[in-house]
Amino acid sequence: MFKVLVSDPISDLGIQKLVDADDVVVEKKIGLSEEELIQIIPEYDGLLVRSQTTVTDKILAAGERLKVVGRAGVGVDNINLEAATQRGIIVINAPDGNTITTCEHAFAMMMALARHIPQAYAKTVSGVWDRKSFLGVELHHKTLGVLGMGRIGSEVAKRAKAFGMEVLGFDPFLTEERAEKMGITLASVDDIVRNADFITVHTPLTPETRGIISTDQFAVMKKGMRIINCARGGVIDENALVEAVNQGIVAGAAFDVFEHEPPQPDHPFLNNPKIIVTPHLGASTVEAQENVAIDVSEQVLHILRDEPFKNAVNIPPVAPSVMSKLQPYFVLGEKLGTVAAQITNAAIQEIVVNYAGDLSEVDTQPLTRHILKGVLSRHFGSDVNIVNSMHLAKARQVNIVVSKSATTKGFTNLISVALKLENGEESIVGGTLLAGYGERIVQINKFTVDLEPTGHLIYISHHDKPGIIGKVGTLLGNNDVNIAAMQVGRKTVGGEAIMVLSVDKEVPKKVLEELVQLPEVNTAQEIALLSK
């Protein structure tokens, strides 16, 4: 049974699927401190948050069973992603569910600014009928600058067009062609700050976007412009904004987000009549909260059940068409990695993966993560997974080289995993998926084999001498170990050789020790394959 903790207010309707699942227990505990979370997190396999819970390294470290942190929303800046990745915890978000809602909030803020709605409301309900102080401006024929033309920015631009605004857009990924299709003008940040009557920002907060609008930008803006931030506090520098408002450059500003949330009571935005604020309400509609909770719950369920999932933010995304091509190779890839790691005891300096045939044409990164997981599982056990396998390898200065080639030695697909070892040797395992027959290991070091990687394997390196196969068989038989299949590989008659035996049960250590006592045998070891 999996246990999932919901630590922020998340739509009940949205998490219904998780609640209804027979194999999941969902517990809601809202408003816990970091200390309280650290105390209880060891019981849980999944954690669901919005933006209130700060998921720190300490919380993640205490989450011994934690497989996934789900963020019901877009921004994951409240989750220590680096720490989650190191610990092999998948972080997912719900990137699409609150796009329209947040766009509508930004638009509502722009209209409220243009017509002084919050200020006029406050005065009217205080009993003052003041029709002179609130002369507004139309949006029609005004220029709107949109910084960040992703999901939300693009929706804002669409609505602005419908209001008869001219839209200037900037985004590192916005092309001339896409801008033209949307009926907007591709502009630089400088064009936008110099020419816009309204500016709205829709970027994440990154080192590059922090303060993208600051003193220098306000200095060249049109006098009387208006500005909106419904993205992240810090994208527009707060102090520079207050200064620009006081200088009369900015006629009005609307902020849904703050550098520190909630802001202190003496925050300069809170007593400035030209700055209107909301308490991070961008995504707060019934629809958006349901959407994001549904999305994130579905993915959490997939992750807990070891099923394919999407929207992971600490694993690169893969197109479904690519994923369906790679999926059948995941288990084989892990097995090749684990076998390669177990047939040597020397330290690994480099992992070289070669994909040939069908696999040379696709983005094989997800498969490489599985192979690395297999290699590292010998030493990291269940602490390694596909989220952290690459990170763990790199953190240990293990170089990873991936190559692709057309030569397949007659197979339609071929994966070769070569571990370059500290002692100058290599440990190489090659495998393929045979249509209709399944997984096969076809190469171990310099030997060609044909081995189905299932059950328990014994790997023996020995000298090719008459009678050795019989001796090994007898020794195993005497110890009640039944041989299901056997493969022998040698390069020259009487030279170095290997024997790989598939046996029906785990081999006691003492039997392996007895095998090494045979004069022809150099090494004998059991190879643990994956349970799947």
Ligand X SMILES: O=C(O)CC[C@@H](O)C(=O)O
Q: Under the criterion CB under 6 A, does residue 377 sit at the interface with ligand X?
A: no
- Binding string to ligand X for residues 54 to 93, with x set by CB under 6 A, is what? -------------------xxx------------------
Q: For Cα atoms 421, 426, 430, give the angle at the middle one, nearest 5 degrees.
A: 130
Relative orientation angle of helices 286-304 and 99-115, to the nearest 10 degrees? 150
Minimum CB distance to ligand NAD smaller for 95 or for 374: 95
Q: Between residues 55 and 442, which has the closer beta carbon with respect to ligand X? A: 55
Q: Are 47 and 55 in contact (CB under 8 A)?
A: yes
Closest CB to ligand X among residues 50, 462: 50
Among positive and negative, which fits the CA dihedral 142, 148, 152, 157? positive
Q: What are phi and psi of 283, to 5 degrees?
A: -100, 10
> Which residues, in sequence order, are CB contacts of 69 under 8 Å at separation 6+?
46, 47, 48, 49, 55, 60, 79, 84, 89, 90, 91, 92
- Tell me the per-residue interface mask from 253 to 292 with ligand X, x by CB under 6 A, - otherwise: ---------------------------x-xxx--------
Q: How far apart are CA 454 and CA 150, in angstroms?
A: 47
**Residues 6 or more apart from 466 whose CB is under 8 A from it?**
none
Point out the catalytic residue in the list 71, 116, 280, 369. 280
User: Is the preceding peptide bond at 262 cis, omega within 30 degrees of 0?
Assistant: yes
Smaller CB separation from ligand NAD, 85 or 102: 102
Report the distance separating Cα 251 and Cα 141, nearest Å.
18
> Which of ligand NAD, ligand X, none does 519 bind, CB closer than 5 to 8 A by kind?
none
Give the residues lining the site for ligand NAD (CB under 6 A): 74-75, 95, 98-99, 102, 147-153, 170-173, 202-204, 206, 208-209, 230-232, 256-257, 280, 282-283
Q: Which one of 36, 64, 138, 261 is the catalytic residue?
A: 261
Q: Are 146 and 200 in contact (CB under 8 A)?
A: yes
Instruction: Point out the catalytic residue in the list 50, 232, 370, 378.
Output: 232
232 is annotated as an active-site residue: yes
The least distance separating ligand NAD from the CB of residue 271, rounded to whole angstroms, comes to 22
Report what 209 binds from ligand X, ligand NAD, none; CB cut-off 5-8 Å by kind: ligand NAD
> What residue 129 binds from ligand NAD, ligand X, none (CB within 5 to 8 A, per partner kind)?
none
Q: How far is the CB of 456 from ligand NAD (least distance, A)?
A: 48
77: left (phi over 0), alpha (psi -120 to 50) or beta: alpha
Q: What residues make contact with ligand X under the rule CB under 6 A?
A: 50-51, 73-75, 98, 280, 282-284
Q: Catalogue the active-site residues.
A: 232, 261, 280
